[in-house]
């Protein structure tokens, strides 16, 4: 995503807010309500001045003051209501633009980018952009308040207004400097908070690993650095606040001193009334507060600009194309619909994972892919699932290139069961039916659970299929999670099966039961599996030996035992392992 041809940074920002279809009508209403509120506030010091001049018993002035306050409260409430509505809508609409794109990115993008960075695109960045847009809309009101205050002050007393002009640059400089460093250090606090969150989010789900290897002290030392970085960021923010408050107070002191000293002088000469000086002071406060908002606004916009640049990288990245020329079913149901890798080479970054691979998974046959760890077996499965596209060569179904077949249908037609058996938070039923896009009767779900040897332990839960599996399925054992994943494959009833050590964590009885069910399920279906189990190998119609990203040999179990040394060694190692397990 880093080498893309980019439009201007501001172009990315405005392109995003156009694409997100923000509620501009609500922003306009908010601006109008805010301008109305400011108009009343600008008029308020004049009314206060009139009351202080002894017109407290003038009913017209008193009622005017009351009505203005009531109207101000109403307008502030309306403006706040629009803020309440616009902010969630804005963030939601931006997230709706980002998430569909993010989830459709090729797998390569997820390998190249940290998951926390991806999450920030959906969570933090929309909030930054929303803040900038909100501040931008308030800029109309801020400018109106500034101009209005200057005009009224000028009409009240030219001399006192001109006397304040030398103070204005100081107000502006202090406001901008304070706003800059406040936002900058706050951004540092948020950044370190994200890093700390990522650190703990990675380790807490792996607490068993940490305890098993006694690495608590080691992880404590690592966390100390993360916590120290957060402390440093917080300390910088506190340091800025330490000086920001005195600086802002100095602005207050200079402004008050100028107004009171010179205003008092003008009062003594009869050029101003005391009530006018107080009213004048209130307008100066408007100017001070609004100039500070300008400084804060600029920093907010810079944050939003940076956020939009990161989002633009995702928006401009290549997206998986779902719609292709052919449907999956019309190709998969043909008699010759073998899955073929033809002259396929593929690399992760600069590391070559597959090198000129040629292999065929025959239609309706059982095919095993074996080889040492890191040899390329899982990458081949990734190619068959079309999670990755070859750098060179092509994947075929029959004689049709895979990239001509609808991608979503292709993946829906292939059931993948891995040794890791990933689950998502939710119920057992939801996980078994994950990937099924139609209503399924519980009878079918229970049948799938029975085939996967999951029925017995599911019925032990009072909730049954409604049992919550927890985050990542942590409320289930490893073997139970694997059975749920296998049951999911049964429900899918696919044309093709990919089994990645699918029975590695099962006991002998469960393995026997599932083998029997799998034989029934795989009958007439194309099945590829990664396994070194000798009994499994003897059942295979076709075996492919993969080593160092290349196909070293292929054939039946008997043929490979006679002709391929690597295959013989793998089987021998597995036999020794089985004998050791039998002896314990």
Are 359 and 530 in contact by the 8 Å Cβ rule? The answer is no
Q: Rounded to an integer, what distance in angstroms lies between the CA atom of residue 503 and that of residue 286?
A: 72
CB atoms within 10 A of CB 501: 18
C-alpha distances out from residue 104 to 271, 275, 309, 418, Å: 72, 66, 19, 22
Are 459 and 445 in contact by the 8 Å Cβ rule? The answer is no
Q: Which residue shows structure tokens 């779902």?
A: 322
Are 34 and 80 in contact by the 8 Å Cβ rule? The answer is no
Q: Which residue shows structure tokens 């969630």?
A: 88
427: three-class secondary structure by DSSP: strand
Secondary structure of 5-39 in the HEC alphabet?
CCCCHHHHHHHHHHHCCCCHHHHHHHHHHHHHHHH
Are 140 and 31 in contact by the 8 Å Cβ rule? The answer is yes
Tokens at 157, concatenated: 């007393």
Where in the sequence numbering do the catalytic residues fall? Answer: 501
List own/partner pairs for 162-170 with CB under 8 A and 24 or more apart. Answer: 163/258, 163/262, 164/255, 164/258, 164/259, 164/284, 167/254, 167/255, 167/258, 168/287, 170/251, 170/254
Are 431 and 474 in contact by the 8 Å Cβ rule? The answer is no
Q: Rounded to an integer, what distance in angstroms lies between the CA atom of residue 10 and that of residue 308?
A: 9
**289, 294, 299, 301: CA torsion to nearest 10:** 130
Q: What is the DSSP letter of 269?
A: T
76: three-class secondary structure by DSSP: helix
Phi-psi region of 434 (alpha: psi -120 to 50; beta: other; left: phi over 0): beta
Q: Return the bridge partners of 301, or none.
A: none
Q: Helices marked H in 157-273 — which ranges?
A: 158-164, 167-203, 207-212, 216-268
Tokens at 83, concatenated: 């803020």
């Amino acid at each position: 995503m880093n080498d893309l041809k980019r439009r201007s940074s501001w172009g990315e920002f405005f392109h995003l807010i156009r694409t997100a279809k923000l509620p501009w009508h609500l922003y306009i209403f908010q601006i109008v309500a805010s301008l109305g509120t400011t108009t009343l506030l600008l008029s308020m010091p004049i009314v206060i001045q009139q009351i202080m001049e002894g017109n407290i018993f003038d009913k017209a002035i008193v009622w005017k003051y009351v009505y203005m306050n009531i109207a101000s409260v109403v307008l502030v409430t309306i403006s706040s209501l629009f803020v309440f509505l616009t902010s969630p809508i804005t963030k939601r609409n931006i997230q709706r633009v980002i998430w569909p794109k993010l989830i459709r990115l090729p797998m390569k993008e997820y390998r190249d980018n940290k998951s926390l960075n991806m999450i920030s695109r959906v969570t933090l960045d929309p909030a930054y952009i929303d803040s900038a847009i909100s501040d931008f809309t308030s800029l109309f009101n801020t400018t109106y308040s500034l101009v209005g205050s200057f005009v009224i002050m000028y009409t009240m007393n030219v001399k006192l207004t001109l006397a304040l002009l030398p103070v204005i640059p100081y107000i502006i400089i202090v406001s901008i400097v304070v706003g800059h460093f406040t936002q900058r250090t706050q951004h540092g606090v948020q950044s370190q908070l994200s890093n700390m969150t990522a650190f703990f989010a990675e380790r807490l789900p792996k607490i068993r690993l940490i305890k098993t290897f006694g690495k608590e002290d080691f992880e404590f030392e690592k966390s100390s650095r993360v916590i120290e970085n957060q402390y440093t960021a917080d300390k910088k923010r506190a340091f800025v606040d330490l000086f920001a408050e005195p600086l802002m107070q100095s602005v207050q002191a200079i402004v008050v001193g100028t107004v009171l000293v010179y205003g008092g002088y003008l009062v003594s000469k009869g050029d101003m009334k005391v009530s006018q000086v107080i009213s004048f002071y209130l307008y100066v406060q408007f100017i001070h507060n609004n100039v500070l908002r300008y400084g804060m606004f600029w920093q907010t916009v810079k944050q939003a600009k940076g956020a939009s640049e990161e989002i633009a990288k995702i928006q401009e990245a290549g997206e998986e194309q779902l719609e292709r020329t052919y449907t999956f079913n019309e190709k998969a149901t043909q008699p010759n619909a073998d899955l073929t890798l033809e002259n396929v080479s593929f690399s992760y970054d600069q590391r070559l994972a597959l090198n000129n691979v040629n292999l065929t998974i025959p239609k309706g046959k059982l095919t095993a892919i074996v080889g040492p760890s890191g040899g390329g077996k899982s990458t081949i499965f990734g190619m068959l699932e079309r999670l990755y596209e070859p750098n060179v060569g092509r994947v075929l179904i029959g004689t049709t290139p895979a990239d001509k077949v609808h991608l979503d249908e292709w993946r829906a037609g292939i059931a993948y069961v891995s040794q890791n058996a990933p689950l998502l938070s939710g119920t057992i039923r939801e996980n078994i039916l994950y990937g099924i896009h139609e209503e399924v009767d519980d009878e079918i779900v229970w049948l799938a659970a029975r085939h996967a040897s999951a029925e017995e332990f599911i019925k032990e839960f009072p909730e049954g299929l409604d049992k919550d599996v927890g985050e990542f399925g942590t409320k289930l054992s490893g073997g139970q999670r694997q059975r749920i994943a296998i049951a999911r494959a049964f429900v899918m009833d696919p044309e093709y099966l990919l089994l990645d050590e699918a029975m590695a964590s099962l006991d002998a009885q469960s393995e026997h039961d599932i083998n029997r069910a799998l034989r029934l399920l795989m009958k007439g279906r194309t099945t590829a599996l990664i396994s070194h189990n000798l009994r499994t190998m003897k059942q295979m119609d076709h075996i492919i030996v993969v080593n160092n990203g290349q196909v070293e040999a292929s054939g039946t179990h008997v043929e490979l035992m006679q002709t391929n040394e690597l295959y013989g060694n793998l089987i021998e190692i597995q036999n020794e392992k089985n004998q050791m397990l039998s002896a314990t």
